[in-house]
Amino acid sequence: MTSRKYKKKLYLCRKFLLSMSKYFYYAIIFILSIATVSAREYHVSIEGSDAASGSESAPFRTIQRASDVAFPGDVITVHQGTYREWVNPRRGGESDERRIVYRAAAGEKVEIKGSERITGWEKTKGTVWKITLPNSFFGDYNPYKDLLYGDWFWNFGWEQHTGEVFLNGKSLWETDSSRKLTTDSNPESNAISKTCSKDYKWYCESTADSTTIYANFHKYNPNKELVEISVRRTCFYPEKPGINYLTISGFHISQAATQWAAPTAEQIGMIATHWNKGWIIEHNVISNSKCSGITLGKERGTGHNVWLDDQSIDGSLHYIEVTFRTLRNGWTRENIGHHIVRDNEIFACEQTGICGSMGAAFSIIENNYIHDIWAKRQFSGAEMAGIKFHAAIDTRISGNRVARCGRGIWLDWMAQGTRVSRNIMYENDSEDIFFEVDHGPYLIDNNILASPISFTAMSQGGAYVHNLFAGHFRVWQEKTRYTPYHLPHSTDVAGFSIILNGDDKYYNNLFLPANPRSDVRYGIPEYKNDAYPSFAEGNAYYDAALPMENEQNTIVQPDFKPSFAIEDNGNEVFISFNLQGFENFKTKIIDTQTLGVAKMPKTKYEQPTGETLILDTDYQGNKRDTNPVPGPFEKAKNGANRFRVW
């Protein structure tokens, strides 16, 4: 072939390819434009109609109607008002970029309630009133027939219902007999708190045809006040798994008759993800759930209260079986978790603010205010806390304010690659953080733990760096339960072990006992009895706090009173304390190399991506010096200190 003919053929070939590329380019633009045009915004208003088009000028009446027609990429904007419904999403998004977004209209208060308003109350005697409703009123679910139950649930010896009665937004206390309605501990106490006075009580009884509710409203006439009863088991929950990539933003969600959420059961809170992936739950106010506010938990098919059904073996063995069933049911990094729960206020829930068994893996829980959880104390169980997770694998819990809960954060079984960072916790009864039967690695850094008990460790393989501990520690072994540990950044089980304690690291922490008691020990001297060696360096101990045995490079000031105090001003929280002895004290920046590996899983303390972890910023986001100050504040100094922490 001559050079001339070759060049001509090459020219024609290039021209053809360029023309095809042009058509391919325009085809892609066309497809993307179709996708963009197809993304719609639907509007919902209490003045709307479900027969309308869902446009801003012709909105739907219910959120459910918008949910039924929404596809990936669509936005559902809900306008001001109260929506008494259970939103059961029909489909989810496709990716982070192609979500289905449910949002409250900007600047408008939108309530989703699991309750109905009830009028027509009849006075019976004194300040006690009653209402009788046909059972058909409740449809296929009657919370005044449904008893609270579940694995690891304790009812204190009397039957309690999932239903609740609310007076002007505050819940009343259930009793187990009508005569107790008037046995007041403080008669005519009308100061209703976040969860109502104990003296505002209700009782129910049902027949085959009807349900009667009695309530002592004291000075209030229930027909003139806002009285509601919870009638729905949830407010936002897809009945089926596979509903991924939803956003729920800006709502006030309350008053659902939620059931006890055991780790061996289907877990349904007022917002519940149902074994899905990639939800964003943000900027909501979530309150008055009978049990849980948000659940990121498993589904029913892998087990539902299996210990109650078969008590021939221990509940821990049942949970191991459930774990393997979830693995066979697609519990992997690719399929499950990856939720973001941020900037919510959650309160007045009697089991948990947020909980999840397996489904919270690879998730981010950040900047939430969780308070007054388990305030009424009418029942108890082993699954109660502000945040309670099983299998928090590569889960990050950061920037939260957790106060006045039974427990603050409880991470139970299989916390691995978990990081708890920059949280403020105080006035929690049992402890601020409880790690139970975990093998690590998990990292606790830059937290302020200000409750009387800062920490309970029934685990091993933890690293505690730059924290402020104002309470005391409890360190327990657990030799009766073999619990799983995993391959790095994975749900795959690598092995099982009992808990002999130890294999922990304490670097650059500040121990400032607040009102120390003589019957407990502060600091970390308990570690001398653990099976696995632990390590501590660069910590500062004041007043009654003691270092680890043979610990080097410490500040120990037993005669100095740090005067630690916390000031809760509602929307703002401050802490104050005194320090001394920082002159010429040498510390170092802590990173992945310093922390090494956790013994049992043989896994590094590192980012969920596998990248190196460097702890070079403090609680407030300030860059740390190469010789960092112990505790969460790089700007702390000798003398008086005061910091805004929320």
Instruction: Give 426-445 pLDDT, tens digit per residue.
Output: 999 999 999 999 999 999 99
Decide if pLDDT at 624 tops 90. yes
Decide if pLDDT at 325 tops 70. yes
Q: What's the whole-number average pLDDT of the chain?
A: 92
pLDDT of residue 300: 95
Structure tokens at 257: 């008759």
Q: Give pairs for 560-568: CB < 8 Å, separation 24+.
A: 562/512, 562/513, 564/450, 564/470, 564/512, 564/513, 564/514, 565/514, 566/426, 566/450, 566/470, 566/514, 568/403, 568/426, 568/427
Instruction: Check residue 229 and report its DSSP letter.
Output: E
Tens of pLDDT along 543-589? 999 999 889 999 999 999 999 999 999 999 999 999 999 988 999 99
pLDDT of residue 33: 46
Amino acid, single-letter form, for residue 609: T
CATH superfamily of 392-644: Single-stranded right-handed beta-helix, Pectin lyase-like (2.160.20.10)
Decide if pLDDT at 287 tops 80. yes
Distance between CA 108 and CA 342 in Å, rounded?
20
Tens of pLDDT along 460-477? 999 999 999 999 999 989
Place of tokens 């100050």: 629
pLDDT of residue 279: 98
Per-residue b or e along 534-562, where b marks 16 or more CB atoms closer than 10 Å to that residue's CB: bbbbbbbbbbbbbbbeebeebbbbeebeb
Decide if pLDDT at 196 tops 80. no
Residue with the larger pLDDT of the pair 349 and 34: 349
- Find out whether 210 and 134 touch, Cβ atoms under 8 Å: yes
pLDDT of residue 121: 98
Tens of pLDDT along 230-257? 999 999 999 998 899 999 999 999 999 9
Decide if pLDDT at 192 tops 90. no
Structure tokens at 41: 């915004």
Place of tokens 């949970």: 319
pTM, full prediction: 0.93
Spell out the residues 6+ positions from residue 98 whose beta carbon is closer than 8 angstroms to its own: 72, 73, 245
Q: Taking the domain 115-230, which CATH number applies?
A: 2.60.40.1180
Instruction: Check residue 529 and report its DSSP letter.
Output: G
Residue with the larger pLDDT of the pair 251 and 34: 251
- What average pLDDT does this structure show over 484-497? 97
- What average pLDDT does this structure show over 635-643? 97
pLDDT of residue 23: 52
pLDDT of residue 10: 43
Decide if pLDDT at 530 tops 80. no
Alpha carbon 245 to chain centroid, angstroms: 18
Neighbours of 622 (CB within 10 A): 12
E-strand ranges in 98-159 read 100-104, 110-113, 115-117, 122-125, 128-134, 153-154
pLDDT of residue 30: 47
Decide if pLDDT at 258 tops 50. yes
- What average pLDDT does this structure show over 282-305? 97
pLDDT of residue 185: 56
Q: Residue 335: which of 278, 288, 379 has the closest Cα? A: 278
β-sheet with 201-206: strand ranges across: 122-125, 128-134, 210-216, 201-206, 173-174
- Find out whether 291 and 262 touch, Cβ atoms under 8 Å: no
Per-residue b or e along 147-176, where b marks 16 or more CB atoms closer than 10 Å to that residue's CB: ebbbbbbebeeeebbbbbbbbeebbbbbbe
pLDDT of residue 199: 85
What element of type H or E holds 20? Answer: helix 3-38
Distance between CA 432 and CA 558 in Å, rounded?
24
